Amino acid sequence: MGEVMFGMRNALAADASAKALIARDWRTRLGRRLIFTDFLVLVWVVFGVQIAWFGFDSTNLSFQGALEDLAINYSAVSVVLVAAWMTILKVYDTRDARIIGAGPTEYRLIADSSLRLFGIVAIIAFLFHINLARGYILIALPSGVAVLVLSRWLWRQWLRVKRQAGEFSARVLLVGSGHSVRHLGTELARHPEAGYRIVGECWAGPPQELPRAYADHSVPVYYHLSSVERAMTETGADTLVITSGDEITPENVRRLSWMLDGERHHLIVGASLADVTGPRIHSRLVAGLPLIHVEVPRYDGPKHVGKRVFDLIGAALLLTLLSPLLILLAVAVKTTSRGSVIYRQERIGLNGQSFTMYKFRSMQVDADAKLASLLAEQGTDDRPLFKVENDPRITRLGRFLRKHSLDEFPQLFNVLFGNMSLVGPRPQRLGEVALYDEAAKRRLLVKPGMSGMWQVGGRSSLSWEDSLKLDLFYVENWSLIGDIIILWRTVKAVAAPGKQAW
C-alpha cells in the first residue's frame, strides 16, 4: 500500500512539473511572437515612411562637421532606427509576460519608450550636426506608435479568448488567511482575462468558516505555511501570491521568497487595498520598507472643471450630430403608442439634489403607477435597484430603444443643464436612494452619468451589489482618460448590446 501511495505522489509531482513547464513555455512563445510582429510593424512603418517621403531615390544625409565627405543612405538610417526601436521596446519590458495584455499600461510603455528613442535620435542629430529630414521623423514616430498599439490591441483580443479557456495564464497558488485568500481568488476568477489562474490555496492559519459570497474554486486547499513548498510542487504553480493574515509576517514572507526559483517562479504580494487603481497608488522605499502611498479622492478642483468642460463640448457636439436621429426617434415614439414623446422623472443627483431627467418614453403612460406592485410581486421592493424582469409595461418600440440605449439620448440636455455628466453612476429614483446604506451614499459624491461602468459592465444583468461595486469604483478612481475609454466602450455596447441588455 505504501508503495502505491508513493507511486501516486510521484505521478502527481511529475504531472505538476509538466504543467509548470508548459506554463513557463507560454511566456516564451508569446514573447517570441510579439518580437516577430513588432519587427514586421516597425519595418513596414519606417521603410514605408522613407519611401513615402523620399520615393525610391537613394537620398543621403547631410553631415556638417569634420567628416565632410561622409554620406549615409537613408535606408541605413531606417535599419538602425528599426533595430534601436526593437531594443528600447525590450529595455522597457513591453514584451514582458506581466505587461502583455495589460491594456493601458502596455500602451503607455510603448509610447514612453518610443518618445525616449526619438529624443535620443534628436540629441545625436544635434550634437553631430546631422540634418535629418524632419518630416521623416515626425511621421515615423506617431505612425509607429499607432500601429504598434493596434498590433498589441489585436494580440490582447486574442489573448482574452485564450485566457477565458484557461490558456496563456499564470498558475497561481494563493497564500494567506482563509478570508483574504478566498476574497482575492473570487475576484481573480471573475477576471480570467487578467491571466491569473488559481490552481491552489494555502491557508496560513487553521480551517475557518467563510461567507457564502466567497466562491469555491474547487482547487486543492493546504493548511499552514509549512505546506507551501509541497503545494507549489503538487499543483504545478509558477506564481505565489501572498495576501494578508496574522501569520504573514515580514520574516515569513522572506522565507517564502527563499524557497522560490527565480527562473521558474514569480512572487506577488497583494496589498489589502480594495478597488484602488494605479494612478492613486505611489510606492516609496523608506528604511528598507516598501511603503504604498494612496491618494485620497477629491471631489472638487481643476479635474472637475475639466470634466465639466468635456461634458459641455461633448453634449453639444453629440446633439448637433445626432439631431436627425433624435427627430426620427421622436416621430417613432409619437406614432407607435399613446402618450408624450419625452418621459420626465425626478432623479437624485450630486449631493442628493433632485432634478428632472429626460428620456424618450419607452413604457405605457401609467407605468409608474404599476411599479410598486410589480416589484412586490417579484420580491425586490426592498432593494435599491427598481428593476422589473420581463417588464410588461414596456412598449414594442420601447424594447428596441432600451436594448440599444436610444431612449437615453434626451439626457444630453441634462448634461448641458449641468444635472448629469456624460459618464458617472446610474441616476436613481428617490425611493431607491432612500434604501441606501453608508457605502451606497458615496454614489452621490459625483454627478450621475448617461453612461458608466454599469453600462459597459453588464447593464441589466447586474445585481444591485455588482452595480454598486462598479459605481463606487468609478467614484473613487475616475479620470478624464477613463471617461473617454468608457464612452468608447459604450458605443460598442450600444451597437452590439448582447443578451444582457433588456
**What tens digit of pLDDT does each residue of 211-230 get?**
655 656 688 889 888 888 99
Q: What is the mean pLDDT of the chain?
A: 80
Determine the straight-line distance between the first and last CA of the chain, rounded to whole angstroms.
60
Q: Say whether pLDDT at 86 is over 90.
A: yes
Region of 169 on the Ramachandran plot (φ > 0 left; ψ -120 to 50 alpha; else beta): beta
pLDDT-derived band at 7 (thresholds 50, 70, 90) equals very low
Q: Say whether pLDDT at 410 is over 50.
A: yes
Average pLDDT (101-125) is 86
Q: Among 21-35, 56-70, 103-117, 175-189, which stretch is predicted with the lowest mean pLDDT?
A: 56-70
Average pLDDT (191-201) is 88
More confident residue, 102 or 410: 410
Q: Say whether pLDDT at 47 is over 60.
A: yes
Q: At what angle do helices 228-235 and 2-54 cross, to 10 degrees?
A: 70
Contact 446, 351 (CB under 8 A): no
Which residue type is seen at 103? G
pLDDT of 211: 60
DSSP state of 339: S
In the structure grid, which three cell numbers stand for residue 252, read together? 515569513
Q: In the beta sheet, which residues pair with residue 293? A: 282
Quote the CA–CA distance of 479 and 150 in Å, as a whole number.
23
- The proportion of the chain whose per-residue pLDDT surpasses 70, expressed as a percent, equals 79
Q: Say whether pLDDT at 432 is over 60.
A: yes
**pTM more than 0.75:** no
pLDDT-derived band at 209 (thresholds 50, 70, 90) equals low
The full set of domain ranges for the chain reads: 2-164, 170-272, 302-495
The length of the chain is 502
CATH ID of 170-272, from 3.40.50.720, 3.30.1300.10, 3.90.79.10, 3.40.50.1220? 3.40.50.720
- Cα distances from 444 to residues 349, 433, 435, 438, 475, in angstroms, run 6, 9, 13, 11, 9
Which residue type is seen at 338? R
Q: In the beta sheet, which residues pair with residue 286? A: 289
Q: Say whether pLDDT at 414 is over 90.
A: yes
Q: Say whether pLDDT at 11 is over 50.
A: no
> Could you tell me the sign of the dihedral formed by the alpha carbons of 18, 21, 26, 32, in that order?
negative
> Could you tell me the sign of the dihedral formed by the alpha carbons of 411, 417, 422, 426, in that order?
negative
pLDDT-derived band at 89 (thresholds 50, 70, 90) equals very high
pLDDT of 315: 94
| Best mean pLDDT range from 12-16, 66-70, 128-132, 166-170 | 166-170
pLDDT of 304: 85
Q: Say whether pLDDT at 5 is over 50.
A: no
Return the closest-CA partner of residue 59 out of 139, 117, 135, 141.
135
More confident residue, 501 or 453: 453
More confident residue, 13 or 272: 272
Return the closest-CA partner of residue 230 out of 3, 9, 2.
9
Burial of 297 (0-12, 13-18, 19+ CB in 10 A): middle
Backbone angles phi and psi of 371, in degrees to 5? -60, -50
Exposed e or buried b for every residue in 250-264, given b needs 16+ CB within 10 A?
eebeeebeeebeeee
Q: Say whether pLDDT at 184 is over 70.
A: yes
pLDDT-derived band at 330 (thresholds 50, 70, 90) equals very high
Average pLDDT (115-142) is 82
CA angle 23, 25, 29 (to 5 degrees): 125
DSSP state of 95: T
Task: Find the helix or strand (DSSP H, E) in which 343 lies.
Answer: strand 342-348
Give the DSSP per-residue string, 363-381: B-TTHHHHHHHHHHHHT-T
Average pLDDT (275-303) is 71
| Best mean pLDDT range from 240-254, 412-426, 456-470 | 412-426
| Best mean pLDDT range from 172-176, 379-383, 464-468 | 172-176
